Chain A
Amino acid sequence: MNKKLFVSPAPQITSKYTTLLMMCAATFALVPSCVFGIVNYGIRALYILLIGVITSFVCDRLLCYFKDKKVDWLDFSSIVTGFMTAALLPATAPLWMSALGSVIAIFIFKFCFGGLGKNIFNPAAASRVILAAIFTGLNLSLFTGTAIGSNVASPLYYLANGDYSFITMRSLFFGSAPGAIGTSAIICILICGVLLMAYRITDFTIPVGGVVTFIAITWIFKGAIAILPFLFSGSFLFALMFMVTDPVTSPNTVWGKLIYGLLFGAFAALFRITNIMGETSVFIAVLMANICAPLLDKIVKPRPLGLKEVK
């Protein structure tokens, strides 16, 4: 053999899971519920989504260019962030708000923390909370949990008052009830979330932990009848399936992930029951859980085998 031989470091095969694939999968998992959102809320929802995605992609590329970071140009991480940020807005929101949300998510909550993999908070959830805090004066229906288009009330409005009869499971499942663009169609969220878990893109321990405490706390405070309406409304499942399972902001170890999920479920249930911030309460719960993640990484550590003498 006269040719040159190729040399590479030790495991000469690698798994098919790459960062690109994981981000792509997360992006496409959002598509079905957003399609439902466009069908339910009109073509305006599509413009909001497109503006969010394009703004975040351009912003990310610009910042990468100036930071001179060797990141792939088609890194789906910025697209998934922009997509998610826009999907959390109601269809009645002004178009510039989508762009602003993406800029906040990418610039403040991603690049100010050091770029991909270094951010503490989920950029989409954080930018949603910031937007809700800034624009309380705009009286956007979903930010306060009252009516959308002044006629129909959001499910959270009824839930706060204890009227469970006004909400039909059908409207929650197919997203015809008022809500944010991407978070209303529960059926799509459930299917896509379970598929992500089945293909090992996201970890199943976090959603399991979250659902357990959410159901338990709702049951204790509101009774068994409130469990399903609470579970299926107010973006809880969206946050559970796509936001807390974000690999960057969740803990590393399995036990850490389980505790993290349990904490998120508890925070979400408590904030929802008190209903101070309406739809935003779930995203505040996401941020609260994110804060706990580095701490959980410190506390829950794997114990390496074979460091002590055995007899």
Chain B
Amino acid sequence: MEIRGVRLKKYNFGKIAKDFFVLRDAEIYSVPLTAGDCEQSIRVVNVGDSVKEGALIAKPNGKYGDFVYSPCCGKVVGVVKKLNINGSLCEHVVIQKDNKQETDYLPILSEDELGSEVLLKRLYESGIMDNFPPYESAYKKYLLKNKINDLVINCTETDPYDHATTALMVTYLSEVFDGALHFQKLCGAAKLTFVFTYKQHRVVKMFKAYLKKRGLKKKVKIKLFPNIYPLAYSRLLAYYLTGKMVKELGRTAQIGMIVESAVNCYDFYQAVNKGKPSIERAITVAGNNCIRKANYFIKNGTPVSHILEVVGFKEDGVDNMLIYGGIMSGVAQESDNVSVSLTANSLLLCESDEFSIEKERVCINCGKCVEKCPVRIHVKDVDDAFELRDYVKAKELGAEACLNCGVCSYVCPAKRFLTQKVQFMKNMAQNKIGKNPDSSDYVLVDGEDFGASKKYDKILDIDKGFKDAIEREVSPVAEQIIASIKQEKLNKTTKDGGNKDE
């Protein structure tokens, strides 16, 4: 199987330790009620309620959305409607932290009761999200009726700044592995495969030794791939493993394979064995303007301004760039007035000089974009179709297969904005001549709405308690509170701001 893409190993902002630091707690958390661009969850708390760490603050809206839990113990001081870090407008629950350390986790599951149904319910409850587009809930993969033969744990890191997965594998190997076993039990897959890149050979060595110690060496397979970006897209990985490419709005479960990331395994272990819902995630904070580059466990809803304060940034004469997500497909933020949602693995703080924004030049027809595209789109022709706004031609050329990985823009010698153009043509082709690409529409698989399927009904028993409709309210007061707290902080001017709490 030919692996297409680019090698990005030369971009590296120095070494990052392969272990974790815990970020100092912020005073204000503003938790977004949707992480991706799906419909938002329904809020179950009101202004003035006091919540414990791990308490439920939002529940799914039918088949859309996720359970959202409070990242800290404190008081809800407001509900704000603003843009989240991925650029969609949604409600944010603003929680002011107090000094209590009380937790309100889910009940811990004992080893005896771990069945497929129980685990699925727990995965649903815990609110774990996939960290790749379309940023859907992790449990949705397991709802298909196809028989699952393979479970693939994706431990690859092809993005140059992303070290969170390797760090997790080094520091919390047994937790990740137990999480993977839980997933295997959940989907009933016969085979368990761990996927690495050749660059991670040290982790692989460690992992093999660990398997030998547990006596599971024969049951677990290890597959190595060259360090070529992009590899982590689950459909693409399934294609490299089986030779079958799932359609864009489909699932890899259709070909009997489930791809799960190592970060999700860790989160699932925490949810099952500790009862801790998805309220924090391993995120690499790096970049050449960042002072304390490291891997952190960052809580959901942590303001980015707080993270910047803790990790520190070089204040030079140049403009800064703040990129959430990988360097290839991440979103450059307009301001630091956003809060983290649990969908990406890295937060980058860079000098804009390093990343020169090139002027778009004339295409010289070199064919590098066609050669490197991982899904084999004729990007050059789509670019031509873009100039004419010829949506029919773009559909014929297969612009709908685009992964939005950014390889074409990367390799283009004329520095044309190819990724954006192909995305535009893809969206327009689907809008005008295809079906409506409502971002929440992709849950429809096999011609059946799984929202009405039996498995789903069983899961929905869980929210019997939340039947009462809750009035939505949006208060601008919260913004004022945040501003006042910031002002107080400035007045204090603490010197120790930025120490890593271990």
Interface string of A201-232 (1 = CB under 8 A from B): 00000000000000000000000000000000
Chain B positions 307-322 with a Cβ under 8 Å from a chain A Cβ:
308, 313, 315, 319-322
B410 within 8 A of A: yes
CB within 8 Å for A6 and B320 given contacts A1-B308, A306-B235, A310-B254: yes
- Bound-complex Cα distance A166 to B327 (A): 61
Which of B62-70, B199-207, B267-275, B353-361 is the interface stretch? B353-361
Give B352-390 interface residues, CB cut-off 8 Å to A: 352, 355-358, 361-368, 370-371, 373, 375-378, 380
Q: In the complex, are the beta carbons of B247 and A310 less than 8 A apart?
A: yes
Known contacts A3-B320, A15-B6, A252-B365: does B246 contact A306 (CB below 8 Å)?
yes
Q: How far is the CA of A309 from the CA of B146 in the complex (A)?
A: 14
| Cβ contacts under 8 Å, B315 to chain A | 3
Q: Which among B90-98, B212-220, B393-401, B474-482 touches the partner chain?
A: B393-401
With A3-B319, A304-B398 as contacts: A247 and B366 at CB distance below 8 Å: yes
Binds B, one of A18-26, A88-96, A129-137: A18-26
- Flag whether B413 is at the interface (Cβ < 8 A): yes
The answer to the question of A42 belonging to the interface, with a C-beta cut-off of 8 Å to chain B, is no
Binds A, one of B32-40, B48-56, B414-422, B464-472: B414-422
A1-B313 in contact given A11-B329, A309-B247, A311-B254 (Cβ < 8 Å): yes
A contact residues around B250 at 8 Å (CB): 309-310
Whether A9 contacts B370 by the Cβ 8 Å rule is no
Task: Name the B residues within 8 Å of A117 (CB-CB).
Answer: 362-365, 414
Is A150 an interface residue, CB under 8 A from the partner? Answer: no
What is the 8 Å Cβ interface bit string for chain A, positions 84-123, against chain B (1 contact, 0 not)?
Answer: 0000000000000000000000000000000111000000
Contact partners of B336 in chain A: CB under 8 A: 1, 5
Contact A19 B365, beta carbon cutoff 8 Å? no
Tell me how many residue pairs across A and B have CB atoms closer than 8 Å.
174
Q: Given A6-B332, A253-B370, are A1 and B305 also a contact pair (CB < 8 Å)?
A: yes
In the bound assembly, the distance between CA atoms of A18 and B356 in angstroms comes to 12
Measured CB to CB, the nearest residue on chain A to B304 is A1
Task: Establish whether residues A251 and B321, one from each chain, have CB atoms under 8 Å apart when the complex forms.
Answer: no
Give bound CA distance, A117 to B352, whole Å.
30
Q: Are B255 and A12 in contact (CB under 8 A)?
A: no
| Contact digits for B335-361, partner A, Cβ 8 Å, 1 yes 0 no | 110000000000000101001111001
On whether the beta carbons of A115 and B362 are closer than 8 Å, the reply is yes
Complex alpha-carbon distance, A115 and B322, angstroms: 38
Instruction: Tell me whether B245 is interfacial, beta carbon within 8 Å.
Output: yes
A305 contacts which of B305, B363, B375, B409 (Cβ < 8 Å)?
B375
Q: Decide yes or no whether B290 CB sits under 8 A from chain A.
A: no
Tell me if A128 is interfacial: C-beta within 8 Å of chain B. Answer: no
- Binary interface profile of B, 217-244, with partner A (CB < 8 Å = 1, else 0)? 0000000000000000001000100001
A77 to B363, CA, bound (A): 13
Query: A304 contacts B375, CB within 8 Å?
Result: yes
> Which residues in window 286-301 of A have CB below 8 A to B?
301
B322 and A5 form a contact (CB under 8 A)? yes
Query: Taking the nearest CB of chain A, how far is it from the CB of B242, in angstroms?
Result: 9
B334 A5 Cβ-Cβ under 8 A:
yes
In the bound assembly, the distance between CA atoms of A109 and B363 in angstroms comes to 17
Q: Does A14 contact B (CB under 8 A)?
A: yes
A163 to B250, CA, bound (A): 68
Binary A-proximity of B399-435 (CB < 8 A = 1, otherwise 0): 0110010110111111101011000000000000000
B419 touches A10 (CB 8 A): yes
Interface centre among B255, B322, B410 (most CB of A within 10 A): B410
Distance in Å: Cβ of A304 to nearest Cβ of chain B: 3
Complex contact B413–A302 (CB within 8 A): no
Let me know if A74 is at the binding interface, CB within 8 A: no
Question: Is B153 close to A, CB under 8 A?
Answer: no
* Candidates B255, B320, B377; contact of A5 at CB < 8 Å: B320
Nearest-neighbour CB distance to chain A for B228, whole angstroms, equals: 14
A303 neighbours in B (Cβ, 8 Å): 376, 398
Tell me the complex Cα distance, A5–B332, Å. 9
B319 touches A6 (CB 8 A): yes
Residue of A10, A71, A254 ringed by the most chain B CB atoms within 10 A? A10
A residues 1-53 in Cβ contact with B at 8 Å:
1, 3-15, 17-19, 21-22
Complex: chain A residue closest to B403, CB-CB: A306
Tell me whether B401 and A306 are in contact (CB under 8 A): yes
Give bound CA distance, A12 to B407, whole Å: 11
Chain A residues whose C-beta falls within 8 Å of the C-beta of B378 in the assembled complex: 252-253, 301-302, 304
Asked if B168 CB lies within 8 Å of chain A CBs, one says no
**Complex: A250 Cα to B313 Cα, angstroms:** 47
Interface presence of A197 (CB below 8 A): no
**Whole-angstrom CA separation of A277 from B469 in the bound complex:** 88
Alpha-carbon distance A28/B378, docked complex (angstroms): 31
Could you show 28 A-B contacts with beta carbons less than 8 Å apart? A1-B313, A1-B336, A5-B332, A5-B335, A6-B332, A7-B333, A7-B334, A9-B419, A10-B419, A11-B328, A14-B356, A14-B410, A14-B412, A14-B415, A22-B366, A115-B362, A117-B362, A117-B363, A247-B366, A252-B367, A252-B378, A253-B378, A254-B371, A301-B378, A302-B370, A302-B373, A302-B376, A304-B376
